[in-house]
Amino acid sequence: MSEERNKGNKEPLSRKHIDIVLVDPQKSENIGAAARAIANMGLGGLVLVRPRFSKPELMEAAATKTGLSVLRLALSFPDLKSALEPHQLIIGTTARPGSHRGIIHSPRDLAPQLLKLEDPPKVAIVFGTERQGLTTEDLRLCHKVMMIPTHNLLSSSLNLAQAVLIIGYELLLAAGGEGSNPLPIVPSSMKDFERAMEDLESVLVTIGFLPEMNKGHWFMNVKKIFQRSQLTRGECDLIQGICRQLRYYVGKEKKED
Ligand code: SAH
């Protein structure tokens, strides 16, 4: 399956066609945290079936600024059937494999199938209520069932919003979105690097750390440290700044002598 992951494409595949459906969510914090997870992972909308909005302030706090717009746009329905009307592919989630549940897929295996380049079907991933999970009747509406693997079956029940987050994360990875966040580190050009190294070499001679004779040979060991760390242009400037200050300081000391 891993070949199916969107590694080659630069633009991550969209996950906006994938809605998260929570059936009978009881805890306001879970509704809020699920909204946050949806925003974190770039999924579609939040769909709620018979939600219990007992503590709106806790719900908004759990959503944080990140998930607030997902929360505000959430749709509520009186039953699962009507909530799923627009969806073409329905995936149920469970914390228990149960013999009558058929094949249980892992999010890692299923995620690539939910991401199609062109004209993806509208997908619903359905989550059950905190205590009992989805009923057998709910699961009968689902085309496939997915379970997040855990350490063992005794500890297979995850927090509802954490389950949403993990599945969203697998979808993000399968979509090739994992490289999109960290700021790319751009290494300095050879010219900037060499200029900083020449400056450093000369200042190390000035302060008597390197002998004037054969300085290049001795400096190689120092230079190797910096070569390994792939300095950015800003870091090269920083080294030159240190060299400047050292020269100024040494000059001042000499005058005072
Ligand atoms: N006690 C219930 C678990 C409910 S947890 C049970 O044993 O079924 C609430 C919801 O979180 C579940 O219905 C499911 O949608 C999701 N969930 C929890 N753990 C999960 C897991 N390991 N894999 C997939 N979904 C999970």
Bridge partners, residue 93, by sequence: 146
Residue 4 CA, distance from chain mean position: 19
- In angstroms, the CA 91 to CA 101 distance is 12
Residue 180 CB contacts under 8 Å (≥ 6 apart), including other chains: 12
Mutation pick for ligand 1 pocket among 27, 29, 147, 160 (CB with most ligand atoms within 8 Å): 160
Look at residues 93, 111, 109, 91 and name the one whose alpha carbon lies nearest to residue 158.
93
Q: How far is the CA of 127 from the centre of ligand 1 (A)?
A: 7
Residue 127 host element (H or E): strand 123-127
Range with lowest mean pLDDT among 3-12, 51-60, 105-114? 3-12
Residue 167: CB atoms within 10 A of its CB come to 25
Taking CB atoms and a 6 Å cutoff, what residues make up the pocket around ligand 1?
93-96, 127-128, 130-134, 147-148, 150, 156-158, 160, 163
Q: What is the pLDDT of residue 3?
A: 42
Q: Which atom of ligand 1 lies closest to the CA of 130?
A: 9
Q: What is the pLDDT of residue 130?
A: 96
Contact 18, 43 (CB under 8 A): yes
What one-letter code names the amino acid at 230? Q
Range with lowest mean pLDDT among 127-131, 176-180, 197-201, 214-218? 176-180
DSSP one-letter code for 59 = H
pLDDT, tens digit (0-9, with 9 covering 90-100), for 120-151: 899 999 999 999 999 999 999 999 999 999 99
Whether the per-residue pLDDT at 241 is higher than 50: the answer is yes
Q: Whose CA is nearest to atom 8 of ligand 1?
A: 133
Question: Is residue 113 helix, strand or coil?
Answer: helix
Look at residues 71, 72, 83, 68 and name the one whose alpha carbon lies nearest to residue 24.
83
- In angstroms, the CA 257 to CA 163 distance is 70
Contact 46, 73 (CB under 8 A): yes
Domains of the chain: 18-176 (3.40.1280.10), 190-256 (1.10.8)
Question: Is residue 185 helix, strand or coil?
Answer: coil
Q: Whose CA is nearest to atom 20 of ligand 1?
A: 95
Contact 70, 45 (CB under 8 A): yes
- In angstroms, the CA 213 to CA 205 distance is 10
Range with lowest mean pLDDT among 6-15, 58-67, 189-198, 231-240? 6-15
DSSP one-letter code for 156 = -
Q: How far is the CA of 14 from the centre of ligand 1 (A)?
A: 25
Look at residues 159, 133, 164, 161 and name the one whose alpha carbon lies nearest to residue 15.
164
Residue 98 host element (H or E): none
Mutation pick for ligand 1 pocket among 101, 109, 136, 157 (CB with most ligand atoms within 8 Å): 157
Contact 246, 203 (CB under 8 A): yes
Look at residues 121, 112, 176, 130 and name the one whose alpha carbon lies nearest to residue 34.
130
Q: Which atom of ligand 1 lies closest to the CA of 128?
A: 13
Whether the per-residue pLDDT at 4 is higher than 80: the answer is no
Residue 24 CA, distance from chain mean position: 28
Whether the per-residue pLDDT at 7 is higher than 60: the answer is no
pLDDT, tens digit (0-9, with 9 covering 90-100), for 13-71: 999 999 999 999 999 999 999 999 999 999 999 999 999 988 999 999 999 999 999 99
Residue 234 host element (H or E): helix 233-256
How far CA 117 is from CA of 5, 39, 47, 107, in Å, comes to 12, 21, 24, 19
Q: Whose CA is nearest to atom 24 of ligand 1?
A: 147
